[in-house]
Amino acid sequence: MKVLVLGAGVIGTACAYYLSRDGHEVTVVDRQSGPALETSFGNAGGVCPGFAGPWAAPGMPLKVVRWLFAQHAPLMLRPRLDLRQWQWLAAFVANCTAERFAANKARMQRIAHYSKACLVQLRADTGIAYDHGTGGVLQVFQTEDELAAAVRATKVLQSFNVTHRLLDAAEARTIEPALAQSSVTLSGGLHLPDDETGDCHLFTTRLAELLRERGVTFQTNTTIRAILREGDGITGIATDRGVLQADRYVVALASEAPMLLRPLGIDVPVYPVKGYSITIDVADSDRAPRSSVMDEHSKVMVTRLGNRVRAAGVAEISGYDRTADRNKAASVLHAARTLFPDAGDYAQAACWAGLRPMTPDGPPYLGTTPFRNLLLNIGQGSNGWTQACGSGRIVADIVDGRAPDIDLGGLTLAQR
């Protein structure tokens, strides 16, 4: 079967891998000059099923209000004259109940753990290397309140069988010895040893190279303008380089997907939540993180990626602007420098910004649409690197008419 995958981020490229493995003739279309040049380029590098869960949680609306007035706040809200922004925010608040949180968390845990297993298998099958590590993630706390919240969170981890260990400050420093250089007083830590790390951009570009060798076409520098329909079928996609046609179409266009789906009558609440990252070269390996540290206080994640350190965070709800404003990345830089002051030269940090394709409830939209040959693979939000392989495999299963390995309840357009 001929399949067009729209979007060459980690989501589209991972999906192309499974489609090609199933013997399909796959073309991946993207407006950029290569794969993973938008949101999949500079993320925090965490493959973290243990942490996967919705941002819409009980207590979150109050926290958001507090952050609006704080310096170095993890969240920035820039209200716009955009009905979709307000609809998204209203839906987000509506999902902040204990009941909705529990349901959404369970859905995200299901896809995230499955996805990590798919990534491990893909790695074994292809031998792909992407500055990855299997050292887990250490969440660190600076206040007693943060630690108390972590103790409560361990009950949720237990309920999902996530291996974890609560640590005092000294134990946390044995997991990440370079924290000894930090001026921050830690109240404790939470270690999730089964989570992984890796450079999402490197993974995607290396996977794309392998796919090209297997006959997959990457049609880059091609902007999709419209999805063409006739009755209940898609007949092609209109691009700035002509119309492209296939038997099946997979939409993996992240935050841009709603604009192309709306004319078809498909309304998916995916909205961009901007984040920032900085990357430095490691100057002294012993003074850099070994794996990944999630600083609960700033919500910044600092990750070792080979001979680099990447720190990422901030949630800015401000529309579709992708500018990497160094001032707004300052809180990320500040958090990384505070935790690992001697890891490298922060004055030389490369700064990046990307748009998380977020759903207000958390889980992505996978699989079928009212159109018989159009499938969705969108809305992975802050967990797209974690969820890419599982999402791709599920969509490939649906294209082939196979039952996916996991229950798709709450992960599809029809069941939401």
Ligand X SMILES: Cc1cc2nc3c(=O)[nH]c(=O)nc-3n(C[C@H](O)[C@H](O)[C@H](O)COP(=O)(O)OP(=O)(O)OC[C@H]3O[C@@H](n4cnc5c(N)ncnc54)[C@H](O)[C@@H]3O)c2cc1C
Q: Which residues bind to ligand X, rule: CB under 6 A?
A: 7-12, 30-32, 36-40, 43-46, 200, 223-224, 252-254, 256, 275-277, 301, 312, 354, 356-357, 380-386
Among 299, 282, 288, 284, which Cα is nearest to 335's?
299
- Smallest distance, ligand X to C-beta of residue 333, A: 13
End-to-end Cα separation, the chain, in angstroms:
29
Instruction: Specify the residue, 187 or 261, whose C-beta has the smaller distance to ligand X.
Output: 261
The answer to whether the Cα torsion of 370, 10, 255, 297 is positive or negative is positive
**What 3-state DSSP class applies to 198?**
coil
Instruction: Specify the residue, 85 or 277, whose C-beta has the smaller distance to ligand X.
Output: 277
Instruction: Specify the residue, 52 or 343, whose C-beta has the smaller distance to ligand X.
Output: 52
Distances (CA, A) of 21 to 195, 215, 239, 295: 26, 11, 27, 39
- Smallest distance, ligand X to C-beta of residue 352, A: 8
Instruction: Specify the residue, 98 or 350, whose C-beta has the smaller distance to ligand X.
Output: 350
CB under 8 Å to 80, separation ≥6 — which residues? Answer: 318, 319
Instruction: Specify the residue, 32 or 338, whose C-beta has the smaller distance to ligand X.
Output: 32
Separation CA 82–CA 76 (nearest Å): 16
- Smallest distance, ligand X to C-beta of residue 173, A: 23
Can you read off the two tokens belonging to residue 19?
């489609």
- Smallest distance, ligand X to C-beta of residue 185, A: 26
- Smallest distance, ligand X to C-beta of residue 364, A: 9
Q: What angle do CA 232, 237, 241 make, to 5 degrees?
A: 165
Q: Which amino acid is at 45?
A: G
- Smallest distance, ligand X to C-beta of residue 37, A: 6
Parallel, antiparallel or unpaired: strands 46-47 and 196-197 = antiparallel
Among 260, 60, 26, 32, which Cα is nearest to 149's?
60
- Smallest distance, ligand X to C-beta of residue 170, A: 27
- Smallest distance, ligand X to C-beta of residue 201, A: 9
Q: Which amino acid is at 199?
A: D
Is residue 181 classed exposed, middle or buried when 0-12, 13-18 and 19+ CB atoms within 10 A define those classes?
A: middle
Q: Which secondary structure element, helix H or strand E, spans residue 62, and what is its range?
A: helix 60-67
Instruction: Specify the residue, 302 or 398, whose C-beta has the smaller distance to ligand X.
Output: 302
- Smallest distance, ligand X to C-beta of residue 52, A: 8
Kindly write down the DSSP assignment for every residue of 296-308, as one continuous string: TTTTEEEEEETTE
Count CB-CB contacts under 10 A for residue 205.
Answer: 20
CB 296 within 8 A of CB 140: yes
